[in-house]
Structure 1
Amino acid sequence: MTAQPDFPEMSQLHALARAASTLGYEIVDLAGFLDLVETQARDQRKALRVVSDGATEIETANTAVDAASKDLVDSVDRTFADVGQSVDLVRDLGARSRDVAAWVQDLSERSGDVGQTLAAVKANNSQIAAISMQVNTLAINAKIEAARAGDAGRGFAVVAEAINELSQKTKAAAAEISANIETLTQWIATLGAESSTVADKAMGVIEQSAETDRALGRMEQSVESTKSEASRIAGHTARVYKAVAAFGPSMHGIGRSIAETSDGIVEAHARIERMVDTSEEIVQASAGLGGMTDDAPFIEYVRAQAAKVSAVFEDALNSGLLSQATLFDRSYVAIPDTRPQQVATSYNDILDQLLPPIQEPALAFDDRVVFCAAVDINGYLPTHNTKFSRPQTDDEIWNTANCRNRRIFDDRVGLKAGRNKAPFLLQVYRRDMGGGSFKMMKDLSAPIIVRAQHWGALRLAYTF
């Protein structure tokens, strides 16, 4: 059989198809980069929002601190004035206390002197009383002698009687003086004892007043130092207040700039997504017109395998292995303790039997094939290739790369593949391998139709 000639138009169509495929790769790679930038910008906006809120709180708190520091300075000034008055008052009181204590000590000493004087007076009074007794005795003797002398002794008897009366009065006066001196002596002794006790206390007051004076001096110095430090705090607070006041608007300006940049990235990303769709439409159209690319063998293969899946599903319905309601069950039940989240539905066990005979051989179709798996119209992938259907571990990053069955891939590529009704759909995407690792892939899918109802698609992913 003679080969068909390669017309110039077909060569151009092939070149267009290859260019469209290359363009799709570049656009998707750029879209992935914008995804990363958008994520970073979103994180930066969140972080900046936290910083901005923190700056606002700092500004509010600093305003309060500034007011408090001013109040502190005023309070310290008032305290310093009050302490100064108190120090002067206490010092004056201390001086008065020392004067009183000195007077009490002097009183104690004078009490001793008075006591000695009274003792001397008491001794002299005793001598007077003794003399009075002697005079009285002499007067009695004189009266006796005058009586013996008869008339010649009458004048002397009168004198003796007068002397006797005087001695009696002197004796009585001396006794009264002795009693008064005794009372005064006791009073002076008591006063001396009390003044001695008070004098001891006065000495303590004098010593304590000196220590109090020193303590007041230290307190005065401390308050003065506090006043100085409070003034310094007020000065620093004022400078911080100015700095924060200038910092706040700058933060808000940065926030607006990042928000505008982020919004621009979102808009650019949306435009890139539309360009991806357009490049895919060009690839679809060129392939539909007969343009041949490196993807042609994969397109034929995935369409054939999707037809096999459709046939296997219809056989299962015909045999009663599956019911229509079970096969098209869209209820997904979360599987506990799975990260990433896996879900189950009513047909899982049966599809685990039906799909591997079709999906596993696809891995040997070409060395570039990474996986082959069926998804429903919501991107749910019930049964994956064996190598991607490992039991989950505690390592979520490892799970993301190796436990991909029973998961819903409702990203742009997954949803478009599951919902596409055209004969095939070729997409370029960045596959998330977990841990921030991505791999550029081609996703080729063909629809799975069961009894004229769209179930989903068979996805064939391969590298460039």
Structure 2
Amino acid sequence: MKNSIIQLFVVAFILIVLGVLATPWWVVAIVAAIASGMSSYFLQAADTPEQAVVQQEDNRMTRTGELISNSASRIAIGGATVSHFLDKLSAMFKQQVASVQEIASRIERIESGNRELIDYAGQAEQTIQVSDEKTQKSRALLAQLLSQQVTLSQQINDSKEMLMSLRTSAESIGSITTTINQLADQTNMLALNAAIEAARAGDQGRGFAVVADEVRDLAKKTTDATQGIDNVLNEINKNSQNSVKAIERVAAAGEEMSHIINESSSLVEAASEASTLAANTMSMMKDTVNEYGEANQGISVNALQLRENTIHLESELSDVSEKVLSLSHQTEDIFRQLQIFELHNRNAQVQRIAKDAAKKIGELFEQAIAAGKISERDLFDFNYKPVPNTKPQKYTSRFDAFTDQQLPAIQEPILSNNDFIIYAGAVDINGYFPTHNKKFSHPMTGNYEVDLAKSRTKRIFNDYTGSRCGKSTETFLLQTYKRDTGEVMHDLSAPIYVNNRHWGGFRIGYQASA
């Protein structure tokens, strides 16, 4: 009873000290377990014979080692679970960051477009105002032109009437000249008759003949004058007719021009009304765009803040992932340090199996090289050739045909003798699995999901866990990870050496248990 109380006080004291120092919980658990075992040993040593003490020391140290191993295993399982969760969360955050960045980018483009729209709206409003001013001026000019056209039409009508009157007067003069011509003809006939009578009269009629000649000459001049007047009147009449026709054409063109001017005035009036309506609408649109821009600026600020917060959270998440990864590495170190104990738990059992298999494979490779079955150069040639039309991608190498023949004899018995082991096989330093277990070496079916699970041989496993298996040169490496199915797995590997050269590692996968 006394020893138990002392042991309790020792452990409590250590826990208090570690708590003050803000030591991680998993370190506290391990130190507490060691302190409990050691204090119990020393307290009982005083009442125990020396030989019994040695035996008890071995037993207690073994139990302490197993206790630490179990604690480390629980830490590793918890770390794997947290790491798996953080990986999923990180993927979600990356997707969210991408989405937020896309949203922010789209909002920035919207803002840019909104600013351009405001500028265009302002320019359009200004253009519409200028157009409206020009339309008003055009309407005034058309009104003035219409007024002038009306005046011109009236003047044309007046000119037409004057020409018609002139034509009528010319026709009247023509009738007068016709009468004069008739009189001149009669006078000429009388003068001719008088000349004939004067000739009959002889000398007595000689004076009368002179008068008759003068009358006849006057009649001829009268006829010539009236003929000239007729010619002039005919020309006046012809020109009057042409002028009337021209004036009529001008009048018709004037009427058409008036019609066009009226239609143009109507169109300009409609354009003016449309321009005014467009100006009012553009002004309203500009106000709406400005209001939208102000609201959008608030959204943009929020989106930028959301993006910064998301990026910050992603960074924080990355830091947490690094810490969890560091915890995983520390538990791996703990498992290696526990080699000093003769433990009998599952991890120790798998460790011995992996080391033994790695040693056998190394010796097998060395003997094969010595016997000329494969060259060391071929065995260490890590230039892989992709196998065509394989998905997931498979590769061949200069040594996989040899491993297909030799490794199953070492790998398959491990599975048949240990039903808790899921896979066991050799990988090179790049994670290339030249010869997988038979249950994972089915022919490809073309179904990606089926082939991903059942046709895993000759693939390169370069994920974080797989890549470390072949590269690790520690006596063994115990990694813990969580599958997408939810199972927590241990992956224990031991390095394979061939003629003192590191070739890869032997991997064993089994379900983790606390």
TM-score, normalisation: structure 2? 0.77
C-alpha displacement at 1:344, in angstroms? 3.3
Structure 1 position 30 matched with structure 2 position 78? no
2:497 counterpart (446, 449, 464): 449
Other-structure match for 2:229: 177
Structure 1 position 117 matched with structure 2 position 165? no
SS in 2 for 1:84: helix
Structure 1 position 208 matched with structure 2 position 267? no
C-alpha displacement at 1:388, in angstroms? 2.5
2-structure distance, mates of 1:42, 1:448: 38
Other-structure match for 2:147: 95
1-structure distance, mates of 2:473, 2:199: 179
Structure 1 position 224 matched with structure 2 position 272? no
Other-structure match for 2:322: 270
2-structure distance, mates of 1:138, 1:415: 152
Counterpart of 2:156, as a letter, is V
SS in 1 for 2:495: strand
Other-structure match for 1:235: 287
Alpha-carbon displacement from aligned partner over 1:426-448 (angstroms, at most 9, x marks no partner): 2211346xxxx664311122332
Counterpart of 2:127, as a letter, is S
1:18 counterpart (39, 54, 70): 70
2-structure distance, mates of 1:277, 1:38: 20
Other-structure match for 1:320: 372
C-alpha displacement at 1:51, in angstroms? 3.4
Contact preservation (8 Å) 1:359, 1:385: yes
Q: How does 1:17-416 map to 2 (within 5 A)?
A: 17-135=69-187, 137=189, 170-286=222-338, 288-336=340-388, 338-392=390-444, 396-416=448-468
Contact preservation (8 Å) 1:445, 1:457: yes
Other-structure match for 2:15: none
C-alpha displacement at 1:293, in angstroms? 3.0
Contact preservation (8 Å) 1:101, 1:205: no
Structure 1 position 462 matched with structure 2 position 514? no
C-alpha displacement at 1:10, in angstroms? 4.6
Alpha-carbon displacement from aligned partner over 1:32-83 (angstroms, at most 9, x marks no partner): 1111222222233333333333433443343333223222221221122112
Alpha-carbon displacement from aligned partner over 1:320-359 (angstroms, at most 9, x marks no partner): 1122222233333444554444343321110111112222
Contact preservation (8 Å) 2:394, 2:458: yes
Alpha-carbon displacement from aligned partner over 1:131-158 (angstroms, at most 9, x marks no partner): 3433555566678889999999999999
RMSD: 3.6
Other-structure match for 1:440: 488
Contact preservation (8 Å) 1:98, 1:205: no
Deviates more, 1:6-15 or 1:279-288: 6-15
Provide closer, same or farther for how the CA distance between residues 256 and 394 of structure 1 changes in structure 2, counting only shifts above 3 A.
farther
1-structure distance, mates of 2:217, 2:497: 164
TM-score, normalisation: structure 1? 0.84
* Structure 1 consecutive aligned stretches of length 4 or more whose deviation exceeds 6 Å: 3-6, 139-166
2-structure distance, mates of 1:330, 1:176: 130
Provide closer, same or farther for how the CA distance between residues 6 and 200 of structure 1 changes in structure 2, counting only shifts above 3 A.
same
For structure 2, the residue ranges without an aligned partner over 5 or more in a row are 1-54
Counterpart of 1:444, as a letter, is L
1-structure distance, mates of 2:488, 2:151: 102
Contact preservation (8 Å) 1:77, 1:227: yes
C-alpha displacement at 1:216, in angstroms? 2.1
Provide closer, same or farther for how the CA distance between residues 141 and 246 of structure 1 changes in structure 2, counting only shifts above 3 A.
same
1-structure distance, mates of 2:190, 2:508: 163
Contact preservation (8 Å) 1:146, 1:153: yes
Provide closer, same or farther for how the CA distance between residues 326 and 294 of structure 1 changes in structure 2, counting only shifts above 3 A.
same
2-structure distance, mates of 1:38, 1:107: 98
Alpha-carbon displacement from aligned partner over 1:211-243 (angstroms, at most 9, x marks no partner): 222222222233333323332332233234333
Other-structure match for 2:480: 428
2-structure distance, mates of 1:388, 1:239: 64
SS in 2 for 1:134: helix
2-structure distance, mates of 1:46, 1:147: 140
Provide closer, same or farther for how the CA distance between residues 354 and 226 of structure 1 changes in structure 2, counting only shifts above 3 A.
same
SS in 1 for 2:436: coil
For structure 1, the residue ranges without an aligned partner over 5 or more in a row are none
1-structure distance, mates of 2:65, 2:442: 43
Contact preservation (8 Å) 2:426, 2:433: yes
2-structure distance, mates of 1:417, 1:321: 26
SS in 2 for 1:384: coil
Counterpart of 1:344, as a letter, is T
SS in 2 for 1:381: coil
Contact preservation (8 Å) 1:108, 1:199: no
Provide closer, same or farther for how the CA distance between residues 56 and 337 of structure 1 changes in structure 2, counting only shifts above 3 A.
farther
2-structure distance, mates of 1:342, 1:365: 29
SS in 2 for 1:441: strand
C-alpha displacement at 1:18, in angstroms? 2.3
